[in-house]
Amino acid sequence: MYLTAHRIFSPATGRTGINAFRYRHGEGAKVDWTNPDPTVVPETEPGELASDEVEVAPGGNLVRSYLDVVAHDSTTVTAITQALDRFRASDFGSLPAVLRGAVGVRFSAEVGLAPEARPAEFDALRERLDRLLRSPPASTWRGLEPLTIEMKVSPDEETSFQLTHPAVERLRVVAGPDWRPTTIRVRKEVREDLAFYQGDILRELVRSLVPNVGAEEILRLGGVRVVDPAGKLIAEWPIRRTIGTGYCLNCHQHNTLIGSGAAWTLVGGGAVWKCTSCGSVQNNNGLWVATLS
């Protein structure tokens, strides 16, 4: 089991909130569950996403603080609570703070958070994990069909993006009576310069197609996907297929990294993480961004 809560800030909207995720591992994970390492399991064996609570739509956000808990799937709530109580009584002066044992814990926050404010921040993240552990909600957006944008490429290689009719009908409820669907056309060279199918560029596309509907509302409707005329998936937001962790330094999405693969190389070697969204490779889990924000 891997539980994680991040306090997130969205530079695009100014929103702040806590996103929490619960992952299950089953019996195939290569983890010593008698003493799971909270600095390793989230990066290399995060498990499969089971439930989540999302307050701030993912993508392009900054991590202000995070709390990770790792333990065997069968670990009781009482055992996790006791481990968090022991951790809470420890010194938060040196971050990230780590507790090892049958329940592993890791907590960190940005440098700007005063030491005397760290216990309260830990409590806020813990409360969200406790709620997710005791009463996991039905994940609403993951159970919905995403809003679909159809992409077409003309003979002169101009690319157009247009919401499908079912997506338009669903959006009318939240977009307001004055909203009129539009089509966005992009020249090939502009599309390539913007790396159109990576990271937050898809969110920018959605903002242009539906300018008066916020990202959180789009998320509640199931997110978005871009398909070609044959229905082949080109891009999606949020990433539904990810079972990753961390923070991608290229496309700025959370929980999209998977750990060391032999075919992934970086100059200098060392541990490697690859983003399941944009395909970029980095030599750390990206959560250090929180300490530099």
Burial (0-12, 13-18, 19+ Cβ within 10 Å), 218: buried
Q: What is the pLDDT of residues 85-136, one digit of tens each?
A: 999 998 777 888 999 999 999 999 988 888 899 999 999 999 999 999 888 7
Q: How far is CA 104 from the centre of its chain?
A: 21
pLDDT score for 80: 96
pLDDT at 17 over 80: yes
Q: So where are the chain's domains?
A: 2-140+286-292, 147-237
Residue with tokens 């780590």: 98
Tokens of 208: 């242009």
Look over the chain and give the mean of its residue pLDDT values, rounded to a whole number: 81
Checking if the pLDDT of 242 tops 60, the result is: no
285 vs 161, residue with greater confidence? 161
| pLDDT value of position 123 | 96
d(CA 261, CA 256): 14
Report pLDDT digits (tens) over 174-231: 888 888 899 998 887 766 665 555 445 677 788 888 888 888 888 888 889 889 888 8
Is the pLDDT reported for residue 45 higher than 80?
A: yes
E runs forming strands in 187-272: 224-227, 233-237, 245-247, 254-259
- Say what the pLDDT of residue 291 is: 41
Segment 129-146 mean pLDDT: 80
Mean pLDDT for 28-44 is: 89
Residue 159, token pair as written in the block: 């690319």
pLDDT (0 to 100) of residue 100: 93
The three-state secondary structure class of 172 is helix
Tokens linked to 169: 């009908």
Classified as helix, coil or strand, 169 is helix
Band (pLDDT 50/70/90 cuts) for residue 240 is: low
- DSSP for 43-67 reads HH---EEEEEE-SS-SSS-EEEEEE
pLDDT of 164 over the 80 cut: yes
Which residues, 6 or more positions from 121, have their beta carbon under 8 angstroms from its beta carbon? Answer: 7, 65, 109, 113
Integer angstrom CA distances of residue 126 from 111, 130, 268, 282: 20, 6, 37, 29
| Cα 255 from chain centre | 4
Is residue 245 over pLDDT 60?
Answer: yes
Question: 10 Å Cβ neighbour count for 177?
Answer: 5
256-273: b (≥16 Cβ within 10 Å) or e? bbbbeeeeeeeeeeeebb
**Sequential DSSP letters for 110-126:** -TTS-GGGHHHHHHHHH
Pairing of strands 104-109, 62-70: antiparallel
